[in-house]
Structure 1
């Protein structure tokens, strides 16, 4: 797979090989960004594209803890689930992630999310390593990039509210 630049002016999204890199600087302190990404009440307010409602079913933020949320939208829903592998507040979060599907798919992707303080804000560096380049291609071709950009817009708006 060749390198694909899929982001916009605010959010970098690059797909290459089996890796998807998402990066954005949010105008908020690192602890607030961390809380927005690890507190189920906050997470439910921004995860998913515009028009999506999210139910956080499980979110046990500790190594070995499980997580699951369900995105609902016009015409359907999709659940995502995984396991936290590393938790280092408010610097780093590593977890597996996979859509919940029948029959079960292959191995999950691994997301490594780091939070870096920069000039009054926080840079979120979100690297997802998919099991194979073809799996990333399927995800990107399904419209995932639009969802990423919209959910990061929703997160930015939530952080402005404090």
Structure 2
């Protein structure tokens, strides 16, 4: 496991359902990848694109909990919030996700962590929205840049231990 390993982030829009599926492998066991998604001190180090500051209003990652955070750059702020519907350590997070700039657009997200053995994990994330138009707007918003750069930053956090 070296820090020079590069894993491709696959982002696929489903042709039949207003859903986006993201698949990414990490050179870390599921418990470390899970912790990076649930520990606010780690989350601020990697979530979102490079060049954005992240501030967490609250982050209660447990079944029935909720979260809110703000990304900012150059004096502009972008808020996001949601609820955790099911959290199972090291294997699953089901949550809602709302960009406060489009408060009617709520995504239902499911993150599944798969232990690949040898200290590696595959994360599969699905985001389901109300319509194909909402899904396409979600993808067109630059989500791909934020996801790819965020997962590159997560690689760096995981490599530091």
TM-score, scaled relative to structure 2: 0.89
Q: Aligned ranges for residues 10-49 of structure 1 at < 5 Å?
A: 10-16=8-14, 17-49=17-49
How far apart, in 2, do the equivalents of 1:123 and 1:114 lie? Answer: 8
Aligned residues: 153
**1:58-100 alpha-carbon deviations (Å, 9 max, x no partner):** 1111222110111112351201100000011111000000011
Runs of 4+ in 1 over 4 A off after TM superposition: none
Query: Is the 2:62–2:87 Cα contact (8 Å) retained in structure 1?
Result: yes
Q: 1:9 to 1:44 in 2, by over 3 A?
A: closer
How far apart, in 2, do the equivalents of 1:116 and 1:86 lie? Answer: 17
**1:21-68 alpha-carbon deviations (Å, 9 max, x no partner):** 111110001111000000000001000101111111111112221101
Unaligned runs of 5+ in 2: 1-5
Q: Aligned ranges for residues 104-119 of structure 1 at < 5 Å?
A: 105-119=103-117
**1:80-135 alpha-carbon deviations (Å, 9 max, x no partner):** 1000000111110000000113xx63251011001111032010111111121110
Aligned to 1:4: none
Cα RMSD of the aligned pairs, angstroms, is 1.5
Q: Aligned ranges for residues 116-155 of structure 1 at < 5 Å?
A: 116-120=114-118, 121-155=120-154
How far apart, in 2, do the equivalents of 1:23 and 1:86 lie? Answer: 20
How far apart, in 1, do the equivalents of 2:143 and 2:33 lie? Answer: 22
Aligned to 1:160: 159
TM-score, scaled relative to structure 1: 0.89
